[in-house]
């Protein structure tokens, strides 16, 4: 449904994306994942026909986005980074306007608008002036305008930005329900979003796609090894020496944290394969008279994969510096403009 081949975009001499290639099958949800400034928005804009690419081709439903722009425009719904709303219109009036410029027949319009309002949970706000809506509602109106004409391809640039947790869940369910009838491509820098909503992930960094796969196989492929977090009393050198003797241990690093009592260290141990190392690690520590206070198995998450792929320094160290789960969310949106 979407085929992108060797797509590049230069702004002056700076390259926003370089040689990006991926494809999306009909009915699939592709998550476009990358840190701010990686080129997500640029790619989305090229796909929507808003920006021309410097080189390469992008085809939507068989039409080249630049050459057959009108044909592509008829087949896509697009939510830009900031929802394109007219503050002086009512939600319903706005959706009616969008349905008109997207070429929905007058007869079908009321039903399409009704359906978009229902899907985005906007029914009680249909008569409200957009200016008076909160950010979360505006974002939902933005999504509603992208689906109001029932396009085969839906492009969503950061659809859950600015929503509260409950709304985020609603929007994710909404997007999941779009799959099948629609082909969806969504960009995000929030990792759980991808594993929850997308059937496939493309990870983009510095304008290049570094991996494309299903979220599950990405995780198994790149994090075949499992890890343990230990809290131990003693010198790092001694602990390291003791643990290195255990067979199957790949890396041992201290983790940075200030919340520990004196003399205690948090240590991350990564094993080479899927083997269970827990009992061996504990036995080794105890036999060396090191006091073990906590041991926890760390689940491989998409987040670690993501950081491994997008961080240039030796990856695992950085994994430790970032607290899991919130790290990506805190990245926030402000600097996304850098890649406009």
| Residues 75-94 as x/- pattern, contact with another protein by CB under 8 A | -x-x-x-xxxxxxxx---x-
Q: Rule CB under 8 A: choose which of 6, 25, 26, 52 binds another protein.
A: 52
51 part of the interface to another protein, by CB under 8 A: yes
Contact 301, 324 (CB under 8 A): yes
41 is a site residue for another protein (CB under 8 A):
no
User: 134 vs 299, which CB is nearer to another protein?
Assistant: 134
Pattern 222-261, binding to another protein, x per CB under 8 A?
----------------------------------------
Interface pick for another protein out of 18, 20, 38, 98 (rule CB under 8 A):
98
- Is there a contact between 215 and 188 (Cβ–Cβ < 8 Å)? no
* Segments in 125-230 forming alpha helices (H): 135-147, 165-178, 191-197, 215-222
> Torsion over CA of 305, 309, 315 and 321, rounded to 10 degrees?
-60
Is residue 74 within the footprint of another protein (CB under 8 A)? yes
Listed ranges 31-39, 69-77, 308-316, 326-334: which one lies at the site for another protein (CB under 8 A): 69-77
Find out whether 101 and 86 touch, Cβ atoms under 8 Å.
no
Classify strands 227-233 and 264-271 as parallel, antiparallel or unpaired. antiparallel
State the alpha helices, DSSP H only, in the chain.
40-48, 69-75, 91-101, 109-119, 135-147, 165-178, 191-197, 215-222, 236-244, 278-287, 302-310, 315-321, 327-330
Give the whole-angstrom CA distance, residue 202 versus residue 83.
23
Interhelix angle 91-101/135-147, rounded to 10 degrees, is 30
Q: Is 56 in the site for another protein (CB under 8 A)?
A: no
Residue 35 and residue 325: Cα distance in Å, rounded? Answer: 15
49 binds another protein (CB under 8 A): yes
Task: Compute the least distance from the CB of residue 95 to another protein, in Å.
Answer: 12
24 or 146: CB nearest another protein = 146
Say whether residue 107 binds another protein (CB under 8 A). no
Burial class, 208, CB count within 10 angstroms (exposed 0-12 / middle 13-18 / buried 19+)? middle
Please tell me whether residue 220 binds another protein under the rule CB under 8 A: no
Among 8, 48, 205, 301, indicate the residue that binds another protein (CB under 8 A): 48
Q: Judged by CB, which is closer to another protein: 95, or 290?
A: 95
State which residue, 106 or 259, has the beta carbon closest to another protein.
106
Work out whether 53 is an interface residue with another protein (CB under 8 A): no
Residues that bind another protein (CB under 8 A): 11-12, 45, 48-52, 70, 73-74, 76, 78, 80, 82-89, 93, 97-98, 100-103, 106, 145, 340
């Amino acid at each position: 449904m979407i085929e992108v081949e060797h797509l590049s975009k230069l702004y002056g001499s700076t390259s926003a994306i370089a040689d990006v290639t991926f494809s999306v099958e009909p009915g699939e949800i592709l998550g476009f994942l990358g840190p701010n400034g990686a080129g997500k928005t640029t790619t989305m804009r090229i796909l929507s026909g808003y920006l021309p690419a410097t080189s390469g081709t992008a085809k939507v439903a068989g039409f080249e986005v630049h050459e057959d722009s009108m044909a592509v425009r008829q087949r896509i719904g697009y939510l830009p980074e900031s929802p394109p709303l007219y503050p002086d219109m009512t939600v319903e009036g706005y959706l009616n306007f969008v349905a008109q410029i997207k070429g929905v027949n007058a007869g079908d319009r009321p039903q399409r608008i009704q359906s978009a309002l229902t899907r985005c949970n906007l029914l009680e706000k249909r008569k409200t002036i957009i200016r008076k809506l909160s950010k979360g509602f505006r974002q939902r109106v933005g999504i509603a305008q992208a689906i109001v004409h029932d396009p085969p391809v839906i492009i969503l640039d950061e659809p859950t930005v600015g929503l509260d947790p409950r709304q985020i869940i609603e929007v994710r369910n909404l997007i999941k329900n779009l799959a099948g009838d629609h082909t969806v491509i969504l960009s995000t820098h929030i990792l759980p979003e991808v594993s929850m909503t997308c059937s496939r992930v493309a990870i983009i960094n510095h304008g290049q796609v570094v991996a494309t796969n299903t979220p599950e196989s990405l995780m198994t492929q790149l994090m075949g090894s499992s890890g343990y977090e230990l809290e131990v009393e003693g010198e790092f050198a001694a602990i390291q020496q003791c643990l290195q003797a255990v067979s199957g241990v790949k890396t041992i690093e201290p983790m940075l944290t200030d919340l520990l009592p004196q003399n205690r260290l948090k240590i991350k141990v990564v094993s080479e394969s899927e083997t269970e190392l827990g009992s061996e690690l504990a036995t080794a520590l105890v036999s060396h008279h090191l006091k073990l206070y906590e041991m926890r198995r760390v689940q491989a998450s998409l987040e670690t994969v993501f950081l491994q792929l997008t961080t240039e320094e030796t990856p695992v160290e950085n994994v430790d510096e970032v607290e899991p789960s919130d790290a990506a969310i805190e990245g926030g949106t402000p600097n996304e403009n850098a890649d406009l």
